[in-house]
Structure 1
Amino acid sequence: MELLRKWLGHPEDIYHLLRFKMGGYRVVMPRMDPDSLGLGLRTCYRYLNQTSRSFAAVIQALDGELRHAVCIFYLVLRALDTIEDDMTISLDIKVPMLIEFHSYLYQPEWKYMESKEKHRQVLEDFPTISMEFRNLAKVYQDVISDICHKMGVGMAEFLEKKVDSQSEWDRYCHYVAGLVGIGLSRLFSASELEDPIVGQDTELANSMGLFLQKTNIIRDYLEDQLEGREFWPREVWSRYTKKLSDLTKPENIDMAVQCLNELITNALRHVPDVLTYLSRLKNQSVFNFCAIPQVMAIATLAACYNNKQVFRGVVKIRKGQAVTLMMDATNMQSVKAIMYQYVEEIYQKIPSTDPSSNKTQQIIASIRAMSLPSGPMASRHHYSPIYLSCAMLLAALSWQYLSTISKATEEYVQAGEN
């Protein structure tokens, strides 16, 4: 009944869930014919689906040869990330592996059989991945190899180093996500589906990655604490507590929320760059690929802002809400409207006593200026009384059916995998 009450409170979710389930997902995630691929590529796409059912869907929706380049790019970085995450590998072995990993792309027989990580198959069958990498056009190979090299060096740097300053937070996020944004942008331009400026403007591409990574780090505070990881910058949290873990203590909840709000304000600084970046994209499949994660991120930050639950459990956007965002974020006007909607939601929650309130208001003002919708805001979520009645009736009749929506779809719309 709890699920039913949620849907009755958000009837638009029901409409979009049904629309998505009944075939609307093909607008943003059209199927790819696996029979058109050779054995090596089929294997790579199988690994892609096994290691990331979320990104697998949008990667396979990309147009032309770009799809294969991004698939291989993802698997190469997944292999690199698997080495970084594997705590059973000693540092004297791991550090050289990370730094030299890009060179393994050109060694047909290289593989690593000693990993204990759950995604170790990408290391154990790296010869298949590297073979398909070498089958890519050289322009794609050069991008993937270069980003892999830079990321490996960055990962090695932060293996035994904690994130202290805000500039180091930006640097860490650059290595693990900004470089991905830069690499993807260069691949988009190399495919000629996008103009050269998309790949050349590394500052905007970096911001795309930083906005997603910071959102994940902010949202995942409690999960990271439970697993012994710390990614919040000391420069910020040390103003509120002596130890980052102390933010979970009930007596510190007010200070914890203020710290949270400051970090969200920091992340919001990237939104103007995100809007500028997206406005340059011309290809529909590339636009969907880039826009969907960004609108998921702004919705997640709006849910987290000034929310004590971040320190008590998991904060997630509703599944129906996520599907609605996926279905809507297919053009620039809609993306601007979505950004406007969620920064307004944050603005309405800014406490007058919050130390970051002025900064939060300032960045929201700059986002408003860029995202003011040309049409009425109600156009995205205007539902007539007749529609609302029908939707509520539909909820009562179909809530149990909708609760069985496929696991793959659910994992995709939970927004925020790596």
Structure 2
Amino acid sequence: MTTICDVDRAYRRCEQITRSQAANFAYGIRLLPPVKRRALSAIYATARRIDDIGDGTLPPDEKLDHLARIRAALHRLPGNDDGDPVLTALADAAVRMPIPLAAFDELIDGCAADVTGRTYDTFDDLRWYCRCVAGSIGRLSLGVFGATDPGRAEPLADALGVALQLTNILRDLVEDRVNGRIYLPAEDLDRFGCTLRLDDGRFADPPERLAELVRFQARRAAEWYDLGLRLLPLLDRRSAACTAAMAGIYRRLLARIAADPLAVTRSRVSLPGREKAWVAARALVGRSA
């Protein structure tokens, strides 16, 4: 039998995971009131566990087996958490709030696509992946935030997820390619005459073509931010601040990439902690970054 102390410890563990591993999202999560902050931390800690399976070093068959196991464990919630602290916290949050736990299935589907080496021919194909791995988190988060018009809010949360994931894809272009992953659609690579072939750890494509490819994707991501941020007026003040902080950090990251598109080929583009804190502070007072 799970006690109140067990649940409190479980939430503390999830908040610990979030603080240590959610370098960008933690700035927004901390703006929430305690009950919502704890619930969103439980969602993040669960998502982190799923992502870690996909990004880990196990053979593909073992990764898929682990993903199937966590899918089955999530399907047993909220009734049976197996004594796992992360699942204990998530189960408690799902009892208190209308969190659509089924959205984790889509996250798992996206991670399975990574494991099997799926590539994407068109942007519509890539949008499916972005919706799985990032839009799902937006919809899970809506269960914590609440919204004045859930029917309008859900597709906007999806759109914001697409924007965030496109930014991640650009930021991690080299790292993903080293790991054998190409996310950018084949139709876009053909359009700009790029292959993303690596030669001694660096892209072999002409720099000017790479720059145009990255700029094009950055413009696309910016359009998805414009759409997704229409979600903010549908949220309460603190939930809107949380969302604006998370999106604001990634949007500024995207602006850096757009200003110097070849930067992503040299090193991992990031924002300093003080800039992230500044974005979060502005979000809390209702001002965009």
TM tier, shorter chain?
0.7 to 0.9
Distance 1:252 1:306, change over 3 A: farther
Instruction: Measure how far apart 1:172 and its partner are.
Output: 0.9
State whether structure 2 residue 162 is matched by structure 1 residue 167.
no
* Structure 1 residue 299 corresponds to structure 2 residue 252: yes
Q: Are 1:45 and 2:15 matched, yes or no?
A: yes
Which residue matches 1:77? 47
Are 2:240 and 1:287 equivalent residues in the alignment? yes
* Matching of residue 210 in structure 1 with residue 162 in structure 2: yes
| Percent identity (aligned) | 21
1:246: Cα distance to partner?
5.7
What residue in structure 2 maps to residue 134 of structure 1?
A: 91
Q: State the distance in 2 between where 1:328 and 1:84 align.
A: 35
TM-score by length of 2: 0.82
Deviates more, 1:314-323 or 1:72-81: 314-323
CA distance in 1, matches of 2:255, 2:130: 20
- What CA distance in whole angstroms lies between the structure 1 residues aligned with 2:12 and 2:248? 31
**Map of 1:235 onto structure 2:** 187
Q: Structure 1 residues 44, 228: closer, same or farther in 2, change over 3 A?
A: same
Q: Distance in 1 between the 2:151 and 2:100 partners?
A: 13
Instruction: Give SS of 2:101's match.
Output: helix
Cα drift, residue 162 of structure 1: 1.2
Measured in 1, the distance between the counterparts of 2:60 and 2:204 equals: 38
Residue aligned with 2:206, SS = helix
How far off its partner does 1:250 sit?
7.3
3-state SS of the aligned residue for 2:230? helix
| In 2, Cα distance between equivalents of 1:251 and 1:158 | 24
Aligned residue type for 2:55: D
Note the 1:229-378 alignment, pairs <5 A: 229-245=181-197, 248-249=202-203, 252-283=206-237, 285-305=238-258, 307=260, 308-317=262-271, 320-332=274-286, 334-335=287-288, 338=289
Asked if the contact 2:39/2:89 (under 8 Å) is kept, the reply is no
Which residue number in structure 1 is paired with residue 107 of structure 2?
151
Which amino acid in 2 is paired with 1:159? V
CA–CA distance in structure 2, aligned partners of residues 79 and 133 of structure 1: 13
Q: Which amino acid aligns with 1:94?
A: K
State the Cα distance separating 1:184 from its structure 2 match. Answer: 0.6
**More moved, 245-254 vs 80-89:** 245-254
**SS at structure 1 position matched to 2:191:** coil
TM-score (norm 1): 0.59
Deviation of 1:210 after TM superposition, in Å, equals: 1.1
Task: Report the CA distance shift for 1:46/1:213 in structure 2 as closer, same or farther (over 3 A).
Answer: same
What pairs with 1:80-119 in structure 2 (closer than 5 Å)? 80-91=50-61, 93-105=62-74, 106=76, 107-109=80-82
- The number of residue pairs the alignment matches comes to 276
**Structure showing greater Rg:** 1
Query: CA deviation digits over 1:99-134, x for unaligned, max 9?
Result: 45233143443xxxxxxxxxxxxxxxx712222333
Structure-2 change in CA distance of 1:227 and 1:157 (3 Å):
closer
- In structure 2, stretches of 5+ residues that fail to align are none
Q: By how many angstroms is 1:251 displaced?
A: 6.9
In 2, Cα distance between equivalents of 1:296 and 1:159: 28
- Once residues 57 and 297 of structure 1 are traced to their aligned partners in structure 2, the CA distance between those partners, rounded to angstroms, is 12
**Closer/same/farther in 2, CA of residues 95 and 250 from structure 1, 3 Å limit:** closer
